[in-house]
Chain A
Protein backbone atom coordinates (compact mmCIF):
# COMPACT_ATOMS: atom_id res chain seq x y z
CA UNK A 1 0.00 0.00 0.00
CA UNK A 2 2.75 2.40 0.97
CA UNK A 3 4.51 1.60 -2.27
CA UNK A 4 1.42 2.39 -4.26
CA UNK A 5 0.89 5.78 -2.67
CA UNK A 6 4.52 6.65 -3.13
CA UNK A 7 4.21 5.75 -6.82
CA UNK A 8 1.12 7.92 -7.10
CA UNK A 9 3.04 10.79 -5.51
CA UNK A 10 5.81 10.33 -8.01
CA UNK A 11 3.37 10.35 -10.93
CA UNK A 12 1.80 13.51 -9.54
CA UNK A 13 5.15 15.22 -9.28
CA UNK A 14 5.94 14.05 -12.78
CA UNK A 15 2.76 15.60 -14.12
CA UNK A 16 3.26 18.83 -12.20
CA UNK A 17 6.82 19.24 -13.42
CA UNK A 18 5.97 18.67 -17.07
CA UNK A 19 3.00 20.99 -16.76
CA UNK A 20 5.28 23.73 -15.45
CA UNK A 21 7.87 23.19 -18.15
CA UNK A 22 5.25 23.22 -20.93
CA UNK A 23 3.62 26.30 -19.44
CA UNK A 24 6.83 28.32 -19.40
CA UNK A 25 7.65 27.41 -22.98
CA UNK A 26 4.11 28.41 -23.91
CA UNK A 27 4.23 31.68 -21.97
CA UNK A 28 7.37 32.98 -23.61
CA UNK A 29 6.37 31.97 -27.12
CA UNK A 30 2.95 33.53 -26.57
CA UNK A 31 4.39 36.74 -25.11
CA UNK A 32 6.99 37.27 -27.78
CA UNK A 33 4.75 36.00 -30.57
CA UNK A 34 1.89 38.21 -29.35
CA UNK A 35 4.20 41.20 -29.36
CA UNK A 36 5.24 40.54 -32.94
CA UNK A 37 1.65 40.03 -34.08
CA UNK A 38 0.56 43.23 -32.35
CA UNK A 39 3.30 45.18 -34.12
CA UNK A 40 2.50 43.49 -37.40
CA UNK A 41 -1.21 44.32 -37.36
CA UNK A 42 -0.73 47.86 -36.11
CA UNK A 43 2.12 48.63 -38.44
CA UNK A 44 0.73 47.09 -41.61
CA UNK A 45 -1.66 50.01 -42.21
CA UNK A 46 1.20 52.49 -42.44
CA UNK A 47 3.22 50.52 -44.94
CA UNK A 48 2.91 51.70 -48.50
CA UNK A 49 5.24 52.22 -51.41
CA UNK A 50 5.44 55.92 -50.55
CA UNK A 51 6.24 55.16 -46.90
CA UNK A 52 9.26 53.17 -47.96
CA UNK A 53 10.50 55.47 -50.71
CA UNK A 54 9.73 59.05 -49.61
CA UNK A 55 11.43 61.30 -47.06
CA UNK A 56 9.46 62.57 -44.03
CA UNK A 57 7.47 65.78 -44.53
CA UNK A 58 5.59 68.30 -42.33
CA UNK A 59 8.13 68.10 -39.47
CA UNK A 60 8.09 64.28 -39.56
CA UNK A 61 4.32 63.92 -39.12
CA UNK A 62 3.76 62.75 -42.68
CA UNK A 63 5.68 61.20 -45.53
CA UNK A 64 7.96 58.20 -45.48
CA UNK A 65 11.06 56.87 -43.80
CA UNK A 66 13.32 56.31 -46.79
CA UNK A 67 16.28 58.32 -45.38
CA UNK A 68 16.16 56.25 -42.17
CA UNK A 69 16.12 52.96 -44.10
CA UNK A 70 19.01 54.15 -46.23
CA UNK A 71 20.94 55.36 -43.17
CA UNK A 72 20.53 52.01 -41.43
CA UNK A 73 21.73 50.22 -44.58
CA UNK A 74 24.82 52.46 -44.81
CA UNK A 75 25.69 52.07 -41.13
CA UNK A 76 25.18 48.32 -41.20
CA UNK A 77 27.21 47.75 -44.36
CA UNK A 78 29.96 49.95 -42.97
CA UNK A 79 29.96 48.02 -39.71
CA UNK A 80 30.21 44.64 -41.43
CA UNK A 81 32.95 45.90 -43.77
CA UNK A 82 34.99 46.77 -40.67
CA UNK A 83 34.14 43.78 -38.50
CA UNK A 84 34.33 40.98 -41.06
CA UNK A 85 38.05 41.16 -42.02
CA UNK A 86 39.07 41.79 -38.41
CA UNK A 87 36.84 39.03 -37.09
CA UNK A 88 37.88 36.37 -39.59
CA UNK A 89 41.60 37.03 -39.15
CA UNK A 90 41.27 36.97 -35.35
CA UNK A 91 39.40 33.69 -35.54
CA UNK A 92 42.00 32.19 -37.90
CA UNK A 93 44.76 33.07 -35.48
CA UNK A 94 42.88 31.68 -32.51
CA UNK A 95 41.93 28.38 -34.12
CA UNK A 96 44.74 27.68 -36.62
CA UNK A 97 47.90 29.26 -35.26
CA UNK A 98 47.67 29.88 -31.54
CA UNK A 99 48.90 27.30 -29.08
CA UNK A 100 46.84 27.04 -25.94
CA UNK A 101 48.52 29.21 -23.36
CA UNK A 102 48.14 32.29 -21.21
CA UNK A 103 48.26 34.67 -24.18
CA UNK A 104 45.43 32.96 -26.04
CA UNK A 105 43.48 32.78 -22.80
CA UNK A 106 43.89 36.55 -22.39
CA UNK A 107 42.74 37.17 -25.97
CA UNK A 108 39.72 34.94 -25.44
CA UNK A 109 38.78 36.67 -22.19
CA UNK A 110 39.21 39.97 -24.01
CA UNK A 111 36.81 38.90 -26.75
CA UNK A 112 34.28 37.67 -24.16
CA UNK A 113 34.52 40.92 -22.23
CA UNK A 114 34.11 42.92 -25.41
CA UNK A 115 30.97 40.91 -26.14
CA UNK A 116 29.56 41.91 -22.76
CA UNK A 117 30.23 45.64 -22.95
CA UNK A 118 26.86 47.46 -22.79
CA UNK A 119 25.83 49.11 -26.03
CA UNK A 120 25.64 52.54 -24.41
CA UNK A 121 29.28 52.22 -23.34
CA UNK A 122 30.17 51.55 -26.98
CA UNK A 123 28.30 54.77 -27.70
CA UNK A 124 30.38 56.70 -25.14
CA UNK A 125 33.55 55.11 -26.50
CA UNK A 126 32.64 56.05 -30.07
CA UNK A 127 31.91 59.58 -28.91
CA UNK A 128 35.21 59.84 -27.04
CA UNK A 129 37.42 58.27 -29.72
CA UNK A 130 35.91 58.81 -33.16
CA UNK A 131 33.75 61.89 -32.74
CA UNK A 132 35.90 63.92 -30.34
CA UNK A 133 39.49 62.66 -30.36
CA UNK A 134 39.80 61.80 -34.05
CA UNK A 135 37.44 64.67 -34.92
CA UNK A 136 35.32 62.71 -37.37
CA UNK A 137 32.26 64.37 -35.86
CA UNK A 138 28.88 62.67 -35.70
CA UNK A 139 28.76 60.86 -39.03
CA UNK A 140 28.38 57.57 -40.90
CA UNK A 141 32.07 56.74 -40.42
CA UNK A 142 31.97 57.15 -36.62
CA UNK A 143 28.73 55.21 -36.36
CA UNK A 144 29.92 52.39 -38.62
CA UNK A 145 33.19 52.06 -36.70
CA UNK A 146 31.33 51.94 -33.38
CA UNK A 147 28.83 49.36 -34.65
CA UNK A 148 31.65 47.38 -36.28
CA UNK A 149 33.42 47.08 -32.95
CA UNK A 150 30.15 46.14 -31.29
CA UNK A 151 29.58 43.16 -33.61
CA UNK A 152 33.25 42.10 -33.75
CA UNK A 153 32.90 39.50 -30.94
CA UNK A 154 29.86 37.97 -32.68
CA UNK A 155 31.83 37.59 -35.91
CA UNK A 156 34.88 36.17 -34.12
CA UNK A 157 32.74 33.66 -32.22
CA UNK A 158 30.87 32.49 -35.31
CA UNK A 159 34.05 32.26 -37.41
CA UNK A 160 35.81 30.27 -34.70
CA UNK A 161 32.91 27.82 -34.54
CA UNK A 162 32.97 27.44 -38.30
CA UNK A 163 36.75 26.92 -38.45
CA UNK A 164 36.65 24.39 -35.62
CA UNK A 165 33.98 22.49 -37.56
CA UNK A 166 36.40 21.76 -40.41
CA UNK A 167 37.73 18.24 -39.79
CA UNK A 168 41.38 17.94 -38.79
CA UNK A 169 41.89 15.34 -41.56
CA UNK A 170 41.38 18.05 -44.19
CA UNK A 171 44.33 19.98 -42.83
CA UNK A 172 46.47 16.88 -42.41
CA UNK A 173 45.79 15.71 -45.96
CA UNK A 174 46.80 19.08 -47.33
CA UNK A 175 49.93 19.36 -45.19
CA UNK A 176 50.93 15.81 -46.12
CA UNK A 177 50.96 16.87 -49.77
CA UNK A 178 53.61 19.42 -48.89
CA UNK A 179 51.28 22.42 -48.99
CA UNK A 180 52.30 25.21 -46.66
CA UNK A 181 50.21 26.10 -43.64
CA UNK A 182 48.98 29.39 -45.03
CA UNK A 183 47.99 27.79 -48.35
CA UNK A 184 46.18 25.07 -46.45
CA UNK A 185 44.20 27.65 -44.52
CA UNK A 186 43.52 29.77 -47.57
CA UNK A 187 42.66 27.00 -50.01
CA UNK A 188 41.23 24.24 -47.82
CA UNK A 189 40.09 25.43 -44.41
CA UNK A 190 38.56 28.80 -45.26
CA UNK A 191 36.41 27.59 -48.17
CA UNK A 192 35.02 24.76 -46.03
CA UNK A 193 34.29 27.16 -43.18
CA UNK A 194 32.88 29.94 -45.37
CA UNK A 195 29.16 29.12 -45.06
CA UNK A 196 29.45 29.10 -41.26
CA UNK A 197 31.34 32.37 -41.26
CA UNK A 198 28.70 33.82 -43.55
CA UNK A 199 25.94 32.83 -41.14
CA UNK A 200 27.69 34.57 -38.27
CA UNK A 201 28.20 37.68 -40.34
CA UNK A 202 24.55 37.84 -41.29
CA UNK A 203 23.57 37.55 -37.63
CA UNK A 204 26.00 40.40 -36.97
CA UNK A 205 24.25 42.47 -39.62
CA UNK A 206 20.91 41.87 -37.88
CA UNK A 207 22.39 42.96 -34.58
CA UNK A 208 23.99 46.11 -36.00
CA UNK A 209 20.81 47.16 -37.78
CA UNK A 210 18.75 47.12 -34.59
CA UNK A 211 21.13 48.89 -32.21
CA UNK A 212 20.21 52.38 -31.10
CA UNK A 213 22.40 53.38 -28.16
CA UNK A 214 25.77 53.15 -29.97
CA UNK A 215 24.69 55.46 -32.79
CA UNK A 216 22.86 58.05 -30.68
CA UNK A 217 25.98 60.14 -30.10
CA UNK A 218 28.06 58.95 -33.04
CA UNK A 219 25.97 59.04 -36.20
CA UNK A 220 22.24 59.49 -35.89
CA UNK A 221 20.34 62.68 -36.60
CA UNK A 222 16.73 63.57 -35.74
CA UNK A 223 16.15 64.76 -39.24
CA UNK A 224 18.31 65.45 -42.25
CA UNK A 225 17.03 67.63 -45.04
CA UNK A 226 19.01 65.81 -47.70
CA UNK A 227 20.51 62.38 -48.10
CA UNK A 228 24.12 61.89 -47.00
CA UNK A 229 26.65 62.60 -49.70
CA UNK A 230 29.78 61.31 -47.95
CA UNK A 231 30.79 59.17 -45.00
CA UNK A 232 31.28 62.37 -43.02
CA UNK A 233 27.59 63.23 -43.03
CA UNK A 234 25.08 62.54 -40.29
CA UNK A 235 22.29 60.10 -41.14
CA UNK A 236 18.84 59.14 -39.97
CA UNK A 237 18.51 55.53 -38.82
CA UNK A 238 15.47 53.33 -38.24
CA UNK A 239 15.98 52.53 -34.52
CA UNK A 240 16.80 56.12 -33.65
CA UNK A 241 13.84 57.32 -35.71
CA UNK A 242 11.52 55.11 -33.64
CA UNK A 243 12.97 56.45 -30.41
CA UNK A 244 12.70 60.07 -31.52
CA UNK A 245 9.13 59.79 -32.80
CA UNK A 246 7.96 57.91 -29.71
CA UNK A 247 9.54 60.14 -27.08
CA UNK A 248 10.32 63.60 -28.42
CA UNK A 249 8.38 66.23 -30.25
CA UNK A 250 4.87 67.58 -30.02
CA UNK A 251 3.09 65.12 -32.27
CA UNK A 252 3.65 61.86 -30.41
CA UNK A 253 0.03 60.71 -30.63
CA UNK A 254 -0.47 61.95 -34.19
CA UNK A 255 2.53 60.05 -35.50
CA UNK A 256 1.57 56.71 -33.89
CA UNK A 257 0.84 55.03 -37.25
CA UNK A 258 4.22 56.16 -38.59
CA UNK A 259 5.87 54.86 -35.43
CA UNK A 260 4.24 51.45 -35.78
CA UNK A 261 5.10 51.40 -39.46
CA UNK A 262 8.76 52.17 -38.72
CA UNK A 263 8.85 49.51 -35.99
CA UNK A 264 7.41 46.97 -38.42
CA UNK A 265 9.99 47.86 -41.07
CA UNK A 266 12.84 47.53 -38.57
CA UNK A 267 11.57 44.27 -37.06
CA UNK A 268 10.87 42.89 -40.52
CA UNK A 269 14.34 43.81 -41.70
CA UNK A 270 16.12 42.31 -38.69
CA UNK A 271 14.03 39.14 -38.55
CA UNK A 272 14.34 38.47 -42.28
CA UNK A 273 18.11 38.91 -42.09
CA UNK A 274 18.33 36.58 -39.07
CA UNK A 275 15.99 34.07 -40.67
CA UNK A 276 18.19 33.93 -43.77
CA UNK A 277 21.18 33.19 -41.55
CA UNK A 278 19.35 30.45 -39.66
CA UNK A 279 18.10 28.83 -42.87
CA UNK A 280 21.59 28.89 -44.42
CA UNK A 281 23.00 27.27 -41.31
CA UNK A 282 20.48 24.47 -41.14
CA UNK A 283 20.95 23.79 -44.87
CA UNK A 284 24.70 23.51 -44.37
CA UNK A 285 24.26 21.18 -41.43
CA UNK A 286 22.05 18.88 -43.46
CA UNK A 287 24.33 18.93 -46.49
CA UNK A 288 27.56 18.45 -44.58
CA UNK A 289 29.38 15.41 -45.87
CA UNK A 290 31.95 15.04 -43.15
Chain B
Protein backbone atom coordinates (compact mmCIF):
# COMPACT_ATOMS: atom_id res chain seq x y z
CA UNK B 1 0.00 0.00 0.00
CA UNK B 2 2.76 2.43 0.89
CA UNK B 3 4.55 1.51 -2.28
CA UNK B 4 1.47 2.35 -4.27
CA UNK B 5 1.04 5.64 -2.45
CA UNK B 6 4.66 6.50 -3.15
CA UNK B 7 4.16 5.81 -6.84
CA UNK B 8 1.14 8.09 -6.95
CA UNK B 9 2.97 10.88 -5.16
CA UNK B 10 5.91 10.58 -7.55
CA UNK B 11 3.59 10.74 -10.52
CA UNK B 12 1.94 13.89 -9.16
CA UNK B 13 5.30 15.54 -8.57
CA UNK B 14 6.38 14.86 -12.14
CA UNK B 15 3.09 16.24 -13.37
CA UNK B 16 3.70 19.46 -11.46
CA UNK B 17 7.13 19.82 -13.02
CA UNK B 18 5.71 19.21 -16.48
CA UNK B 19 3.30 22.07 -15.90
CA UNK B 20 6.15 24.47 -15.22
CA UNK B 21 6.44 25.29 -18.93
CA UNK B 22 2.78 26.30 -19.04
CA UNK B 23 3.27 28.26 -15.83
CA UNK B 24 6.23 30.10 -17.34
CA UNK B 25 4.27 30.89 -20.48
CA UNK B 26 1.53 32.28 -18.24
CA UNK B 27 4.06 34.33 -16.28
CA UNK B 28 5.53 35.73 -19.49
CA UNK B 29 2.08 36.88 -20.58
CA UNK B 30 1.30 38.26 -17.11
CA UNK B 31 4.47 40.29 -16.78
CA UNK B 32 4.46 41.57 -20.35
CA UNK B 33 0.91 42.82 -19.85
CA UNK B 34 1.56 44.11 -16.35
CA UNK B 35 4.35 46.36 -17.60
CA UNK B 36 2.92 47.01 -21.07
CA UNK B 37 -0.77 47.75 -20.54
CA UNK B 38 -0.30 51.14 -18.79
CA UNK B 39 0.74 52.72 -22.12
CA UNK B 40 -2.79 52.22 -23.39
CA UNK B 41 -4.00 54.82 -20.92
CA UNK B 42 -2.13 57.33 -23.05
CA UNK B 43 -2.59 56.00 -26.57
CA UNK B 44 -5.37 53.79 -27.87
CA UNK B 45 -4.54 50.34 -29.21
CA UNK B 46 -5.16 51.29 -32.88
CA UNK B 47 -3.11 54.48 -32.52
CA UNK B 48 -0.30 52.48 -30.94
CA UNK B 49 -0.29 49.78 -33.62
CA UNK B 50 -0.98 51.94 -36.66
CA UNK B 51 0.48 55.28 -35.61
CA UNK B 52 3.17 56.32 -38.07
CA UNK B 53 5.41 58.18 -35.67
CA UNK B 54 7.72 56.72 -33.05
CA UNK B 55 9.23 59.60 -31.09
CA UNK B 56 9.23 58.22 -27.56
CA UNK B 57 11.62 60.81 -26.14
CA UNK B 58 10.12 63.95 -27.73
CA UNK B 59 7.87 66.40 -25.94
CA UNK B 60 5.06 65.55 -26.51
CA UNK B 61 6.10 61.97 -27.27
CA UNK B 62 4.56 59.92 -30.10
CA UNK B 63 4.06 56.20 -29.57
CA UNK B 64 3.14 54.71 -32.94
CA UNK B 65 4.92 51.44 -33.71
CA UNK B 66 3.73 51.04 -37.30
CA UNK B 67 7.20 51.83 -38.71
CA UNK B 68 8.69 49.23 -36.36
CA UNK B 69 6.13 46.61 -37.41
CA UNK B 70 6.78 47.38 -41.07
CA UNK B 71 10.53 47.17 -40.42
CA UNK B 72 10.16 43.76 -38.81
CA UNK B 73 8.03 42.40 -41.64
CA UNK B 74 10.27 43.74 -44.39
CA UNK B 75 13.48 42.20 -43.07
CA UNK B 76 11.64 38.96 -42.29
CA UNK B 77 10.14 38.84 -45.77
CA UNK B 78 13.41 39.39 -47.61
CA UNK B 79 15.42 37.09 -45.39
CA UNK B 80 12.79 34.38 -45.95
CA UNK B 81 13.02 34.98 -49.69
CA UNK B 82 16.75 34.26 -49.53
CA UNK B 83 16.76 31.59 -46.84
CA UNK B 84 13.91 29.33 -47.98
CA UNK B 85 15.22 28.28 -51.42
CA UNK B 86 18.78 27.92 -50.14
CA UNK B 87 17.72 26.09 -46.98
CA UNK B 88 15.30 23.70 -48.67
CA UNK B 89 17.52 22.96 -51.68
CA UNK B 90 20.51 22.31 -49.46
CA UNK B 91 18.32 19.98 -47.38
CA UNK B 92 17.44 18.15 -50.62
CA UNK B 93 21.14 17.94 -51.42
CA UNK B 94 22.05 16.52 -48.03
CA UNK B 95 19.13 14.13 -47.86
CA UNK B 96 18.87 12.86 -51.44
CA UNK B 97 21.87 13.81 -53.55
CA UNK B 98 25.08 13.96 -51.54
CA UNK B 99 27.28 10.88 -51.42
CA UNK B 100 27.18 9.23 -47.99
CA UNK B 101 30.54 10.41 -46.59
CA UNK B 102 29.81 14.02 -47.56
CA UNK B 103 26.36 13.74 -46.08
CA UNK B 104 27.78 12.60 -42.78
CA UNK B 105 30.00 15.66 -42.67
CA UNK B 106 27.46 18.20 -43.93
CA UNK B 107 24.61 17.29 -41.60
CA UNK B 108 26.45 17.95 -38.33
CA UNK B 109 28.21 20.92 -39.96
CA UNK B 110 24.89 22.63 -40.69
CA UNK B 111 23.77 21.86 -37.17
CA UNK B 112 26.97 23.39 -35.86
CA UNK B 113 26.42 26.51 -37.94
CA UNK B 114 22.96 26.90 -36.43
CA UNK B 115 24.77 27.43 -33.16
CA UNK B 116 26.67 30.56 -34.24
CA UNK B 117 25.54 33.23 -31.75
CA UNK B 118 23.47 35.96 -33.38
CA UNK B 119 25.68 38.70 -31.95
CA UNK B 120 28.49 37.25 -34.05
CA UNK B 121 26.43 37.50 -37.23
CA UNK B 122 25.45 41.04 -36.25
CA UNK B 123 29.09 41.89 -35.71
CA UNK B 124 30.07 40.44 -39.09
CA UNK B 125 27.30 42.37 -40.85
CA UNK B 126 28.39 45.55 -39.15
CA UNK B 127 32.13 45.29 -39.60
CA UNK B 128 32.45 43.48 -42.93
CA UNK B 129 29.24 43.58 -44.96
CA UNK B 130 28.20 47.16 -44.14
CA UNK B 131 31.39 48.90 -45.36
CA UNK B 132 31.36 46.71 -48.47
CA UNK B 133 27.74 47.57 -49.29
CA UNK B 134 28.42 51.23 -48.64
CA UNK B 135 31.40 51.35 -51.02
CA UNK B 136 29.96 49.13 -53.71
CA UNK B 137 26.61 50.84 -54.03
CA UNK B 138 27.80 54.29 -52.94
CA UNK B 139 25.35 54.57 -50.05
CA UNK B 140 25.20 56.89 -47.07
CA UNK B 141 25.17 53.82 -44.82
CA UNK B 142 25.68 50.09 -45.20
CA UNK B 143 23.40 49.40 -42.26
CA UNK B 144 20.12 48.80 -44.07
CA UNK B 145 17.41 46.36 -45.13
CA UNK B 146 19.69 44.48 -47.54
CA UNK B 147 22.35 43.90 -44.92
CA UNK B 148 19.86 42.89 -42.22
CA UNK B 149 18.03 40.52 -44.58
CA UNK B 150 21.25 38.83 -45.67
CA UNK B 151 22.50 38.30 -42.13
CA UNK B 152 19.07 37.13 -40.93
CA UNK B 153 18.93 34.71 -43.86
CA UNK B 154 22.34 33.37 -42.92
CA UNK B 155 21.00 32.84 -39.42
CA UNK B 156 17.77 31.16 -40.51
CA UNK B 157 19.26 28.88 -43.20
CA UNK B 158 20.74 26.24 -40.87
CA UNK B 159 17.46 26.06 -38.94
CA UNK B 160 15.37 25.67 -42.10
CA UNK B 161 17.83 23.26 -43.65
CA UNK B 162 18.04 20.88 -40.73
CA UNK B 163 14.29 20.74 -40.04
CA UNK B 164 13.55 20.28 -43.76
CA UNK B 165 16.21 17.58 -43.94
CA UNK B 166 14.52 15.70 -41.09
CA UNK B 167 11.22 15.93 -42.97
CA UNK B 168 12.73 14.64 -46.23
CA UNK B 169 14.47 11.84 -44.38
CA UNK B 170 11.19 10.47 -43.05
CA UNK B 171 9.59 10.04 -46.48
CA UNK B 172 9.09 6.28 -46.79
CA UNK B 173 11.50 4.48 -49.06
CA UNK B 174 8.60 2.77 -50.83
CA UNK B 175 7.48 6.12 -52.26
CA UNK B 176 10.79 6.58 -54.01
CA UNK B 177 10.90 3.00 -55.22
CA UNK B 178 7.39 3.23 -56.61
CA UNK B 179 8.31 6.40 -58.46
CA UNK B 180 11.47 4.87 -59.95
CA UNK B 181 9.53 1.79 -60.94
CA UNK B 182 7.23 4.00 -62.99
CA UNK B 183 10.25 5.29 -64.89
CA UNK B 184 10.63 8.67 -63.24
CA UNK B 185 14.08 10.19 -63.12
CA UNK B 186 15.71 11.10 -59.84
CA UNK B 187 14.88 14.80 -60.12
CA UNK B 188 11.27 14.01 -61.07
CA UNK B 189 11.04 11.72 -58.05
CA UNK B 190 12.42 14.39 -55.75
CA UNK B 191 10.25 17.21 -57.12
CA UNK B 192 7.00 15.32 -57.60
CA UNK B 193 7.08 12.65 -54.90
CA UNK B 194 9.55 13.33 -52.13
CA UNK B 195 9.08 17.08 -51.67
CA UNK B 196 5.26 16.92 -51.78
CA UNK B 197 5.24 14.08 -49.23
CA UNK B 198 7.49 16.08 -46.93
CA UNK B 199 5.63 19.32 -47.51
CA UNK B 200 4.19 19.65 -44.03
CA UNK B 201 7.63 19.26 -42.49
CA UNK B 202 9.11 21.69 -44.98
CA UNK B 203 6.37 24.23 -44.26
CA UNK B 204 7.04 23.86 -40.56
CA UNK B 205 10.72 24.52 -41.25
CA UNK B 206 9.85 27.66 -43.20
CA UNK B 207 7.45 28.99 -40.57
CA UNK B 208 9.88 28.33 -37.74
CA UNK B 209 12.65 29.97 -39.75
CA UNK B 210 10.43 33.04 -40.23
CA UNK B 211 9.50 33.09 -36.54
CA UNK B 212 13.17 33.03 -35.73
CA UNK B 213 13.89 35.89 -38.11
CA UNK B 214 11.08 38.12 -36.85
CA UNK B 215 12.07 37.63 -33.22
CA UNK B 216 15.81 37.91 -33.75
CA UNK B 217 17.29 40.84 -31.87
CA UNK B 218 21.04 41.23 -32.11
CA UNK B 219 21.31 41.04 -35.90
CA UNK B 220 18.68 43.72 -36.53
CA UNK B 221 19.90 45.80 -33.62
CA UNK B 222 23.40 45.92 -35.08
CA UNK B 223 22.86 46.02 -38.84
CA UNK B 224 19.35 47.32 -39.67
CA UNK B 225 20.41 50.93 -39.15
CA UNK B 226 17.75 51.94 -36.67
CA UNK B 227 15.68 54.53 -38.56
CA UNK B 228 12.11 54.47 -37.24
CA UNK B 229 10.49 55.41 -40.54
CA UNK B 230 8.71 53.62 -43.36
CA UNK B 231 11.53 52.76 -45.79
CA UNK B 232 11.36 53.82 -49.44
CA UNK B 233 14.10 51.64 -50.86
CA UNK B 234 15.95 48.45 -50.02
CA UNK B 235 18.95 50.51 -49.02
CA UNK B 236 17.06 52.44 -46.36
CA UNK B 237 17.51 51.80 -42.67
CA UNK B 238 14.74 50.29 -40.60
CA UNK B 239 14.12 49.74 -36.92
CA UNK B 240 12.45 46.37 -36.38
CA UNK B 241 10.60 45.85 -33.08
CA UNK B 242 13.25 43.77 -31.25
CA UNK B 243 15.93 46.33 -32.14
CA UNK B 244 13.80 49.14 -30.78
CA UNK B 245 13.21 47.32 -27.49
CA UNK B 246 16.85 46.36 -27.05
CA UNK B 247 18.23 49.76 -27.96
CA UNK B 248 15.86 51.89 -25.92
CA UNK B 249 15.15 49.89 -22.78
CA UNK B 250 18.48 50.85 -21.27
CA UNK B 251 17.66 54.55 -21.54
CA UNK B 252 13.94 54.53 -20.80
CA UNK B 253 13.35 55.70 -17.21
CA UNK B 254 11.83 52.99 -15.01
CA UNK B 255 8.03 52.74 -15.41
CA UNK B 256 7.94 55.83 -17.66
CA UNK B 257 5.56 55.99 -20.64
CA UNK B 258 8.48 55.00 -22.86
CA UNK B 259 9.22 51.93 -20.67
CA UNK B 260 5.58 50.81 -20.85
CA UNK B 261 5.52 51.42 -24.62
CA UNK B 262 8.54 49.13 -25.07
CA UNK B 263 6.85 46.38 -23.07
CA UNK B 264 3.73 46.85 -25.22
CA UNK B 265 5.96 46.41 -28.29
CA UNK B 266 7.14 43.21 -26.64
CA UNK B 267 3.50 42.08 -26.36
CA UNK B 268 2.99 42.63 -30.09
CA UNK B 269 6.18 40.72 -30.89
CA UNK B 270 5.23 37.91 -28.53
CA UNK B 271 1.74 37.54 -30.03
CA UNK B 272 3.17 37.56 -33.56
CA UNK B 273 5.68 34.79 -32.88
CA UNK B 274 3.04 32.89 -30.90
CA UNK B 275 0.81 32.98 -33.98
CA UNK B 276 3.68 31.74 -36.15
CA UNK B 277 4.35 28.87 -33.78
CA UNK B 278 0.73 27.85 -33.46
CA UNK B 279 0.44 27.82 -37.25
CA UNK B 280 3.60 25.69 -37.47
CA UNK B 281 2.19 23.31 -34.86
CA UNK B 282 -1.13 23.12 -36.69
CA UNK B 283 0.51 22.52 -40.07
CA UNK B 284 2.77 19.79 -38.76
CA UNK B 285 -0.14 17.93 -37.17
CA UNK B 286 -2.84 18.57 -39.74
CA UNK B 287 -0.90 17.61 -42.81
CA UNK B 288 1.16 14.85 -41.35
CA UNK B 289 2.72 12.64 -43.99
CA UNK B 290 1.02 9.40 -44.79
CA UNK B 291 2.83 6.13 -44.29
CA UNK B 292 5.59 5.62 -41.79
CA UNK B 293 6.75 9.22 -42.00
CA UNK B 294 6.19 11.64 -39.18
CA UNK B 295 7.83 14.92 -38.43
Contact = CB atoms under 8 A, between A and B. Distances in A.
**Pair from one complex:** yes
Interface of A: 10-11, 13-14, 17-18, 20-22, 24-25, 27-29, 31-32, 35-36, 38-39, 86, 89-90, 92-94, 96-98, 106-107, 109-125, 127-129, 132-133, 149, 152-153, 156, 180-182, 203, 206-207, 209-213, 216-217, 239, 242-243, 246-247, 256, 259, 263, 266-267, 270-271, 274-275, 278, 282
A211 B117 contact: yes
A133 B278 CA distance: 29
A212 B118 CA distance: 8
B28 A152 contact: no
Contacts of A263: 120, 123
A243 B218 contact: yes
B270 A239 contact: no
Interface string B203-235: 000001001001111100110000000000000
B39 interface: no
Contacts of B158: 28, 32
B137 interface: no
Contacts of B214: 118
B218 A118 contact: no
Given A243-B119, A246-B126, A32 B250 contact: no
A205 to B, nearest CB: 10
Interface in B77-134: 85-87, 89-90, 92-94, 97-98, 106, 108-113, 115-124, 126-128
B173 interface: no
Given A90-B18, A118-B215, 18 more contacts: A18-B186, A25-B94, A28-B87, A32-B116, A32-B158, A35-B116, A35-B121, A89-B13, A94-B18, A112-B281, A116-B274, A116-B280, A118-B270, A132-B35, A212-B119, A239-B218, A247-B222, A274-B112
Nearest to A85: B17
Q: Which of A28, A89, A181 has the most CB of B within 10 A?
A: A28
A178 to B, nearest CB: 11
Nearest to B89: A24
B20 interface: yes
Nearest to A105: B285
Interface stretch (B51-59, B61-69, B241-249): B241-249
Contacts of B113: 32
Interface in B35-55: 35
Q: Which of A35, A242, A278 has the most CB of B within 10 A?
A: A35
Contacts of B20: 86, 90, 152
Contact of B250 (A115, A206, A217): A217
A211 B242 CA distance: 14
B139 interface: no
The 7 closest A-B pairs by CB, nearest first: A118-B215, A210-B117, A128-B31, A89-B17, A116-B277, A24-B89, A93-B18
Given A124-B35, A128-B34, A213-B217, A98 B112 contact: no
Contacts of A180: 3, 6-7
B222 A243 contact: yes
Contacts of A247: 126, 222
A206 B215 CA distance: 19
Interface in B271-295: 273-274, 276-278, 280-281
B249 A118 contact: no
A109 B278 contact: yes
A129 B15 contact: no
A112 B254 CA distance: 32
Contacts of A278: 108, 111-112
A110 B112 contact: no
B119 A242 contact: yes
B217 to A, nearest CB: 4
A209 B119 CA distance: 11
A95 to B, nearest CB: 10
Contact of A239 (B89, B119, B211): B119
B1 interface: no
A210 B86 contact: no
B19 interface: yes
Contacts of A213: 217-218, 242, 246
B222 A156 contact: no
B266 interface: yes
